[in-house]
């Protein structure tokens, strides 16, 4: 994460001073759950397991590791790394909804159940940002696609900043995964950095000729929280994909709302797009630039 923060120009007056680290902002993460990692201590407001129709509160757990890694990128405080592997918004609070199983897969009904839960409880819990590092595989079907798109757009219409991953079926045209095809929400692609990494980030345009992803962030070989923390296994591990890029942007949005709590989600999206930097040698990729974004 230290490398990620360097690439997105994280360090600026607001972050150096500690004034804008996500305090007062609650982020909802819909994923595979959350392990009891020290980096989240005292900041998990709600954990709800919605897989297989359980609909019950449980102690936080993650039988995959994907959700813990994503949450660490967004809001881990890096205490077990001396701060080097802190996430983007290390003082933000978390609402964790487990909608995917141990394989990182989930039914459309479980995902929709999680989205509806956020919609119904956002005001009560003060949820401002939502990260959904989920991309439907091809062949989902038009009806299910429509329902998923409608659901995430309802969150957006509630003034929530919604970030989703572009999917890993790229880089060919028209390969952005649903719900990243929505024209409203913020779709994030993984920026290819270094050599020897397969670039699989989904790309537009969508069937409606919408340019996607909206912007890019580092997503390959990102070190973040492990779901099996301990001396033997280590507290951190590396993962790759657009799932890792989306929470980088979601965390940046949490920083912005910490500084400008009255900002709307549309303002956040426009500001992200206006301040993104075009990458050198890329194919039109525009990368998150936190320093410019928060200025």
CA 182 to chain centre: 16
In the chain, what's the furthest Cα-to-Cα distance?
50
Identify the pLDDT of residue 138. Answer: 64
Residue 11 has pLDDT above 90, yes or no: yes
Q: Which of 124-133, 158-167, 188-197 has the lowest mean pLDDT?
A: 188-197
Residue 137 has pLDDT above 90, yes or no: no
Residue 259 structure tokens: 């500084």
Mean pLDDT, rounded, of the chain: 91
Phi first, then psi, for residue 82 (nearest 5°) are 70, 20
Residue-by-residue DSSP string for 78-115: -GGGTTTT--SSTT-EEEEEE-S-TTS---HHHHHHHH
Band of residue 57 on the pLDDT scale cut at 50, 70, 90: low
Identify the pLDDT of residue 20. Answer: 95
Identify the pLDDT of residue 173. Answer: 87
Q: Give the mean model confidence (pLDDT) for residues 98-109.
A: 92
Share of the chain above pLDDT 90, in %: 75
Those residues whose C-beta lies under 8 Å from the C-beta of residue 163, and which sit 6 or more positions away, are 129, 130, 131, 132, 185, 186, 187, 188, 246, 247, 249, 250, 253
- Dist CA 291 CA 55 (whole Å): 41
Q: Is 33 left (phi over 0), alpha (psi -120 to 50) or beta?
A: left
Identify the pLDDT of residue 208. Answer: 83
Catalytic residue among 31, 62, 214, 289: 31
Identify the pLDDT of residue 9. Answer: 96
**95 vs 280, residue with greater confidence:** 95
Instruction: For residue range 270-285, list pLDDT tens digits in order.
Output: 999 999 998 765 566 8
Identify the pLDDT of residue 233. Answer: 65
Residue 91 has pLDDT above 60, yes or no: yes
| Predicted TM-score (pTM) of this structure | 0.94
Identify the pLDDT of residue 55. Answer: 55
Catalytic residue among 66, 133, 165, 214: 66
Identify the pLDDT of residue 192. Answer: 75
Identify the pLDDT of residue 174. Answer: 86
Instruction: For residue range 256-268, list pLDDT tens digits in order.
Output: 999 999 999 999 9
Q: Give the mean model confidence (pLDDT) for residues 168-190.
A: 91
Identify the pLDDT of residue 136. Answer: 77
Residue 195 has pLDDT above 60, yes or no: no
Catalytic residue among 110, 133, 243, 289: 243
Asked about 66 being catalytic, the answer comes back as yes
Residue 238 has pLDDT above 60, yes or no: yes
Closest alpha carbon to 28 in 75, 61, 69: 75
Please report how the helices 265-275 and 242-259 are oriented relative to each other, as an axis angle in degrees rounded to 10: 110
Asked about 295 being catalytic, the answer comes back as no
Helix (H) or strand (E) holding 236: strand 236-239
Residue 112 structure tokens: 């929709």
Asked about 214 being catalytic, the answer comes back as no
Band of residue 172 on the pLDDT scale cut at 50, 70, 90: confident
List domains and CATH numbers for the chain.
2-294 (3.40.50.200)
Residue 65 has pLDDT above 90, yes or no: yes
């Amino acid at each position: 994460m230290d490398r990620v923060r360097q690439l997105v120009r994280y360090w600026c007056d607001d972050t150096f001073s500690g004034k804008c680290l996500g305090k007062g902002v609650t982020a909802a993460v819909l994923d595979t759950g959350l392990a009891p990692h020290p980096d989240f201590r005292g900041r998990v407001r709600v954990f709800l397991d919605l897989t297989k129709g359980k609909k019950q509160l449980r102690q936080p757990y993650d039988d995959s590791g994907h959700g813990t890694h994503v949450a660490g990128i967004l809001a881990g405080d890096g205490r077990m790394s001396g701060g080097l592997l802190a996430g983007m918004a290390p003082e933000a609070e978390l609402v964790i909804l487990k909608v995917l199983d141990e394989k990182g897969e989930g039914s459309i009904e479980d995902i929709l159940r999680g989205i509806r839960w956020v919609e119904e409880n956002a005001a009560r819990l003060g949820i401002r940002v939502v990260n959904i590092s989920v991309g439907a595989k091809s062949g989902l079907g038009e009806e299910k696609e429509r329902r998923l798109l409608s659901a995430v757009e309802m969150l957006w219409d509630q003034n929530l900043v919604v970030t989703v991953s572009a999917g890993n079926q790229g880089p060919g045209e028209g390969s952005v995964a649903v719900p990243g095809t929505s024209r409203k929400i913020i779709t994030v692609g993984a920026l290819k950095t270094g050599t020897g990494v397969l670039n699989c980030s989904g790309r537009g345009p969508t069937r409606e000729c919408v340019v996607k992803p909206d912007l890019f962030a580092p997503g390959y070989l990102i070190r973040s929280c492990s779901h099996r923390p301990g001396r033997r296994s280590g507290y951190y591990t590396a993962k790759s994909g657009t799932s890792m890029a989306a929470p980088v942007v979601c965390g940046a949005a949490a920083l912005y709302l910490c500084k400008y709590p009255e900002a709307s989600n549309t303002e956040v999206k426009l500001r992200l797009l206006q301040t993104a930097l075009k990458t050198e040698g890329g194919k039109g990729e525009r990368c998150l630039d936190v320093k410019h974004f928060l200025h």
